[in-house]
Structure 1
Amino acid sequence: MIEVIVEDRCTGCGDCVEACPSDVLRVGEGGKAVIAHQADCQTCLLCELYCPADALFVWPEVDRVIGVTAEQALASGQMGAFRRDHGWGEHAATHTNQHWRMGAIFERARLLAIETAAAQNPSNTARHEDIR
């Protein structure tokens, strides 16, 4: 779940706001990104991936807020690690972008969601089979 935006690092570009599929982030009064709906965070890390300033910190916990502060996030040494490890932006020359591999993971998650929904409501099984 997104834990913190380090205001001093945020440039106000809005890339993280645009990348978020759940509208968790908004542009605040000062023109910088703010966390508007933290509980809606899917922990997809797209905000971190698209932030060229490495101003966001997403913790892998998806069910609850841990309460990481900006100071703790900076001290962790993990600010920007997701972008770096995926070869985005300035890291393209030193790290191979393997983000394309997420397609298989998303497909497995989609099929699992269909199976779970069908198990919870057997009357919709035929409709879910058509989606496959």
Structure 2
Amino acid sequence: MIEFISASKCVSCGLCVSVCPTGVFDQEKGKVPVIARKDDCQTCFMCEVYCPVDAMYVSPNVDEVTVNEEELIQSGVLGSYRREIGWGKGQSPSAASDASYKMFQMMSKLPGH
């Protein structure tokens, strides 16, 4: 569930607002988005994945958790899901190391494919 948006890191781009499938956020132009409908969060991580500055924290737990910005920053949790799946500048997509991906790459080079 979405738990936190870092006002100090957020660049107010609105990507999280536009990718959220359930409309969890509200945002005034040029301001940091607000978690307006937290109970509507489906924990899809899309907001965290699309955040270009790792300003969001989505907890995989549905229970409310207590968050402290400094602790999140120190622990490296902000943006960790995005890094784990290989999104972002300078990252390598994790799908590229998947065996089935490699198999499909080889198959696409066979004659007739």
TM-score of the pair, normalised by structure 2 = 0.75
- Which residue is equivalent to 1:13? 13
- Which residue is equivalent to 1:50? 50
Paired with 1:25 and 1:58, the residues of 2 have a C-alpha distance of: 13
Letter in structure 2 aligned against 1:51: C
Paired with 1:91 and 1:85, the residues of 2 have a C-alpha distance of: 13
What's the C-alpha RMSD, in Å, of the aligned pairs?
Answer: 1.9
What 5-or-longer segments of structure 2 have no aligned partner? 99-113
- Which residue is equivalent to 1:4? 4
- Which residue is equivalent to 2:70? 71
For this pair of structures, how many residues does the alignment match? 96
Q: Which secondary structure state, in structure 2, belongs to the residue aligned with residue 3 of structure 1?
A: strand
Stretches of 4+ moved more than 4 A in 1? none
Return the structure number with greater helix share. 1
What 5-or-longer segments of structure 1 have no aligned partner? 102-132
Q: Which secondary structure state, in structure 1, belongs to the residue aligned with residue 89 of structure 2?
A: helix
Percent identity reads 43
Paired with 1:70 and 1:97, the residues of 2 have a C-alpha distance of: 28
1:1-132 → structure 2 map (5 Å cutoff): 1-28=1-28, 31-62=31-62, 64-92=63-91, 95-98=92-95
Q: Could you report, residue by residue, the CA deviation over 1:33-92 in whole angstroms, capped at 9, with x for unpaired residues?
A: 111111111111000000001000011112x32121222322221111111121212143
Paired with 1:46 and 1:90, the residues of 2 have a C-alpha distance of: 17
Paired with 2:74 and 2:34, the residues of 1 have a C-alpha distance of: 21
